[in-house]
Every structure is written in structure tokens, then in C-alpha cells.
């Protein structure tokens, strides 16, 4: 930590700051000159709040210099994490993984047809919500455990892995028998109780970035899961909230290379939520992979115009097929391959 004192700071102020730094476990070095006094704290205490120092009397500003996350940092596993699923499918490494399916499971017919179409297009995972976070209490809230059973059934039929959203601690146990990967939605990225529980589970997790979460906060949320002992974790950029209203969110494509630098965890892109309109999804999917994404999570529906949720951003099956074909050609340009 570095603390810069104000020119008007008293010896008492300086002493008080040094004592607080020492108490946290820092080794403090003073530097001064040109009317400035800098206190450099060397060491890496587990947890402290730099904001507390910023308001101490006589302090001009203070900076944290050690990373607040440990296990999520690239340095923890420089070669990068590769997650291996029971059927041998791997996420990470050279792979560009395709996960697709409808927003919600609506019926056996709908989810079976979806699975067949995802498989035909070349996907490895079937997505589909059984529990749905909806802004309005009057909207369709998902089929629950019946949806989970249908996902498993058609996943097994087609050989697709199943990924679906968990919204609440009590759902974890219910979901375990049916799914291959938990998905934590953007709204729950800082539901710390849920994250902590997922750290104790032995199933992979995909953690989505919140719409107003900084990249550092994403990694701190990842730390909750990793520090529980669950290392099979991947992250997902799905758009942040900005002033622009032409798109549902603003997909922060730059978060992909930035995260790839900072963490060893695989990073996927979700262009469906990122942009929110079907016609722009393929462009954003291609952009995500061009920028280094390890995979894509996309909404596709056999009949988007009749979807019970998110139809506006769901691809038509034939769009998905064409897109995967383009991704296959694009991936090698950036040293990757679509399975």
C-alpha cells in the first residue's frame, strides 16, 4: 500500500498512519522531498480497505498495490485453466466452445428440438433456464425441476452437456443430479452466500459478469468460489449497462482480453444478452472470438417469435448453423479452433 500525505500533514498525522499500516502487517518506508511525503507499505496483508486510509487526517490519497484476489490471478496458474467434463469435452486451451439453446425450457418438444438443432450446428453444450430471474413478478418464472429433468433427458439423447442457471442456495441440491454446469447469472454475481456454496460443490460453474461490475469485482466474486475449493470455474462477459439504448446492454468486448491477461480462468462471451437483438448477435459472436474468447453462450430457439422469454435475442436455428461455420473459419486466425 502507498499513502501520500498532504503537504500540511502534521507529525502526529504521519505517525497515526504509520501505526495503522504497521498494525495491518506492513513494513513502512518513508520518502520525502519537494513538500511531499510518501509512505510505502511493503507486504501483503490478506484483507484491508484502502478507503479507510484515504480519509485519515493528513492523508491526500492512498493506493492498494497488491491484488485483492489471489486464486483467480493469472500468476496462480500461468498456463491457464482447462476444465474437462465427464464426456471429455474441454473448455479452455485452444478450444472455442459453443453453448446454445433457448432462454427457458418451455416443453419437451421445444427443448428436444432445440437440443437437436444445437447439436446439428456443432455445439457442445445445451443451455436453457429452468429457474428464471425475471424483472417482473408477472412474467413466466420457469418450469423448475420439471425443466431440469427435460434438460437432462434431451442432453443425454443428443450427447450435449447441460448448463443452466442457479438462482438460490436451495436449488443447488435439486439441480446436481440433472446438470453438468451451474450458471450464475449477472444479477447474482454478488450473491456472496450463493457463491460460497458453489465453492463447495464438485461441478463446474460459469460465472457471469454483473451489468455494473468492474473486472476486479468479477475476479473477487470468482475468488469466493475458488477459495471454497471449486477450481472448475469459467467467466462470461454478457454486457454492461451504459447510456446507450440502441442495444440492450453494451457488450464490453475488451473485457475478454483484459480478463485473459489477469486470470487463468476461461472467459466466454454471451452476445445474446450483450446486444439483445438477434440481428446483431452473429457480429458480436465473431467479435468475441476474434478478441480471444474461449467460447460463446448464445440463445437459440426453434421458433423465437413464440418464445416465452428473450425471443428477441434468440437466433434462428439456421443462423446458429451459419455462425458456427464462420467461427470455424475465424478461430484459426487467432490460433484457436472450434471443436
Restricting to residues 77-106, name those near a second copy by CB under 8 A.
none
- Kindly identify the residues of this chain, within the stretch 168-197, that bind a second copy according to CB under 8 A: 168-170, 187-188, 190-194, 196
Phi, psi of 69, rounded to the nearest 5 degrees: -115, 150
In angstroms, the CA 309 to CA 283 distance is 22
- Kindly identify the residues of this chain, within the stretch 218-277, that bind a second copy according to CB under 8 A: 220-221, 223-224, 227, 240-248, 250-258, 261, 274-277
Output the smallest distance, CB 336 to a second copy, in A: 12
In angstroms, the CA 303 to CA 310 distance is 12
CB 250 within 8 A of CB 242: yes
Alpha helices in 165-300 (DSSP H): 169-175, 192-198, 215-226, 255-262, 271-275, 281-290
Is 15 a binder of a second copy (CB under 8 A)?
no
Output the smallest distance, CB 274 to a second copy, in A: 7
- Kindly identify the residues of this chain, within the stretch 25-54, that bind a second copy according to CB under 8 A: 27, 29, 31-34, 36, 38, 40, 42-44, 46-47, 49, 51-52, 54
**Closest by alpha carbon to 225, among 242, 202, 255, 251?**
202
Output the smallest distance, CB 157 to a second copy, in A: 29
Q: Which stretch binds a second copy (CB under 8 A): 88-96, 122-130, 174-182, 217-225?
A: 217-225
**Closest by alpha carbon to 274, among 307, 303, 305, 296?**
296
Size of the site for a second copy (CB under 8 A): 110
Q: Which residue has 447441460 as its cell numbers?
A: 162
- Kindly identify the residues of this chain, within the stretch 291-330, that bind a second copy according to CB under 8 A: 291-292, 304-305, 307, 309-313, 326, 329-330
CA-CA distances (angstroms) from residue 11 to 34, 37, 189, 216? 17, 11, 44, 35
In angstroms, the CA 152 to CA 174 distance is 13
- Kindly identify the residues of this chain, within the stretch 133-172, that bind a second copy according to CB under 8 A: 133-140, 167-170
In angstroms, the CA 254 to CA 242 distance is 15
Output the smallest distance, CB 146 to a second copy, in A: 18
Out of 10, 15, 22, 65, the residue judged to bind a second copy by CB under 8 A: 65
Output the smallest distance, CB 181 to a second copy, in A: 20
Q: Which stretch binds a second copy (CB under 8 A): 85-93, 116-124, 176-184, 210-218?
A: 210-218
Amino acid at each position: 500500500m502507498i499513502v501520500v500525505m498532504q503537504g500540511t500533514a502534521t507529525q502526529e498525522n504521519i505517525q497515526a498512519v504509520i501505526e495503522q499500516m504497521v498494525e495491518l502487517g506492513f513494513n513502512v518506508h518513508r520518502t520525502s522531498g519537494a513538500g511531499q511525503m510518501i509512505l510505502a507499505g511493503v507486504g501483503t496483508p490478506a484483507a484491508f480497505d484502502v478507503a479507510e486510509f484515504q480519509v485519515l487526517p493528513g492523508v491526500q490519497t492512498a493506493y492498494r498495490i497488491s491484488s485483492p484476489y489471489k486464486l483467480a490471478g493469472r500468476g496462480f496458474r500461468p498456463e491457464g485453466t482447462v476444465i474437462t467434463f465427464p464426456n471429455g469435452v474441454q473448455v479452455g486451451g485452444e478450444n472455442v466452445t459453443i453453448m446454445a439453446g433457448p432462454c427457458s425450457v418451455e416443453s419437451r418438444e421445444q427443448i428436444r428440438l432445440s437440443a437437436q438443432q444445437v447439436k446439428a450446428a456443432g455445439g457442445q453444450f445445451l443451455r436453457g433456464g429452468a429457474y428464471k430471474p425475471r424483472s417482473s413478478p408477472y412474467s413466466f418464472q420457469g418450469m423448475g425441476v420439471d425443466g431440469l429433468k427435460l434438460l437432462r433427458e434431451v442432453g443425454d439423447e443428443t450427447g450435449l452437456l447441460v448448463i443452466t442457471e442457479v438462482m438460490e442456495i436451495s436449488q443447488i441440491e435439486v439441480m446436481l443430479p440433472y446438470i453438468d454446469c451451474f450458471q450464475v447469472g449477472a444479477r447474482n454475481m454478488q450473491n456472496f452466500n450463493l457463491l460460497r456454496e458453489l465453492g463447495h460443490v464438485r461441478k463446474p460453474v460459469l460465472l457471469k459478469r454483473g451489468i455494473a461490475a468492474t473486472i476486479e469485482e468479477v475476479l473477487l466474486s470468482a475468488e469466493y468460489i475458488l477459495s471454497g475449493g471449486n477450481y472448475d470455474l469459467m467467466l462470461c462477459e454478457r454486457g454492461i449497462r451504459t447510456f446507450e439504448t440502441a442495444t440492450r446492454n453494451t457488450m464490453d468486448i475488451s473485457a475478454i482480453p483484459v480478463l485473459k491477461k489477469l486470470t487463468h480462468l476461461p472467459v466466454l462471451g454471451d452476445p445474446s444478452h450483450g446486444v439483445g437483438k438477434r440481428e446483431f448477435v452473429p457480429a458480436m459472436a465473431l467479435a468475441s472470438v476474434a478478441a480471444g474468447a474461449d467460447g460463446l453462450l448464445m440463445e437459440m430457439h426453434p421458433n423465437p417469435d413464440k418464445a416465452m422469454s428473450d425471443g428477441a435475442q434468440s437466433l434462428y436455428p439456421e443462423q446458429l448453423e451459419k455462425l458456427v461455420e464462420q467461427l470455424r473459419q475465424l478461430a484459426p486466425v487467432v490460433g484457436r479452433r472450434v471443436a
